[in-house]
Chains A and B, each alone.
Chain A
Amino acid sequence: DTGVSQNPRHKITKRGQNVTFRCDPISEHNRLYWYRQTLGQGPEFLTYFQNEAQLEKSRLLSDRFSAERPKGSFSTLEIQRTEQGDSAMYLCASSLAFKSDYGYTFGSGTRLTVV
């Protein structure tokens, strides 16, 4: 098991462009979470999936953001018409639903810089 894998590690994009990030969770984990972390802040919840169903979305997830987990395995997070304020580390985590009390396993994140 290679843990939670996120790609790319770094992304630099121009304002107004669309970007897509990928997360591959631990294979047997049915829950997948997306968080955003800006400099000097803790991770902020964006959304989570159980299998392919998106169960909760934060108010932080504006209509420019969309997340999918089509087959209940990997997930993608797309940001359309990026803005400088979208610059952040995007963290993915996974867990087993019945073991989520014991915490999540995080990936190394994708650092997005919007110029």
Chain B
Amino acid sequence: GEDVEQSLFLSVREGDSSVINCTYTDSSSTYLYWYKQEPGAGLQLLTYIFSNMDMKQDQRLTVLLNKKDKHLSLRIADTQTGDSAIYFCAERGNSGNTPLVFGKGTRLSVIA
């Protein structure tokens, strides 16, 4: 079945760039997503990328997709303390009826 793997922790200094990595197993994945979860809150959709794209940029966020290696990354430029949260990678298979499958999340800590 589908599986999504992420490293559990990342610590960066304020102002540096953060790179959060994700690997997935379902080669038929058509859409991949990054969600952010702050303490005690639900998940907030940050961005998504379609599988025929290599890169997507949205303000401080850059998503890179290597479909051959099934590797997805999220780069946050000029990381701020407000970026401290858990970041989840999620993938969706090749059908619009397939629910999203999430990784375990990467906890990003930003040190002032």
Interface residues of chain A, those whose CB is within 8 Å of chain B, are 4, 6, 33, 35, 40-45, 48, 55-56, 91, 93, 97-98, 100-109
User: Across the interface, do B88 and A56 meet the contact criterion of CB distance under 8 Å?
Assistant: no
The reply to whether B102 and A101 contact each other, CB–CB distance below 8 Å, is no
Name the A residues within 8 Å of B100 (CB-CB). 45, 103-104
The A interface is mostly helix, strand or loop, or mixed, namely: mixed
What residues of chain B lie closer than 8 Å to A103, measured between beta carbons? 31, 33, 35, 45, 48, 100
User: Can you report 29 A-B residue pairs in the complex whose CB atoms are below 8 A from each other?
Assistant: A6-B42, A35-B102, A41-B104, A41-B105, A42-B4, A42-B88, A42-B103, A43-B43, A43-B102, A45-B100, A45-B101, A56-B97, A56-B99, A91-B42, A98-B96, A101-B31, A101-B48, A101-B92, A102-B31, A103-B31, A103-B33, A103-B45, A103-B48, A104-B100, A105-B45, A106-B42, A106-B45, A108-B41, A109-B41
Query: B44 near A: Cβ within 8 Å?
Result: yes
Inter-subunit contact B44/A106 (CB<8 Å):
yes
Given the known interface contacts A33-B99, A42-B88, the answer about A104 and B104 at a Cβ–Cβ threshold of 8 Å is no
Which residues does chain A contribute within 8 Å of B96, judged by CB atoms? Answer: 97-98, 100-101
B6 to chain A, nearest CB (A): 8
- Closest B residue to A33 using CB positions: B99
Check A107/B104 contact, CB under 8 A, given A33-B99, A101-B92, A101-B96: no
CA gap between A6 and B96 in the complex, in Å: 25
User: Are the C-beta atoms of B102 and A107 separated by less than 8 Å?
Assistant: no
Number of interface residues of B (CB under 8 A): 25
B40 / chain A contacts, CB cutoff of 8 Å: 108
How far is it, in angstroms, between the C-alpha of A16 and the C-alpha of B99 when the chains are bound? 30
Known interface pairs A48-B99, A91-B42, A108-B40; 8 further A-B residue pairs with C-beta atoms within 8 A, sorted by A's residue number: A41-B104, A41-B105, A42-B90, A101-B96, A103-B48, A104-B45, A106-B45, A108-B42
Q: Give, as a whole number of angstroms, the nearest-CB distance from A98 to chain B.
A: 8
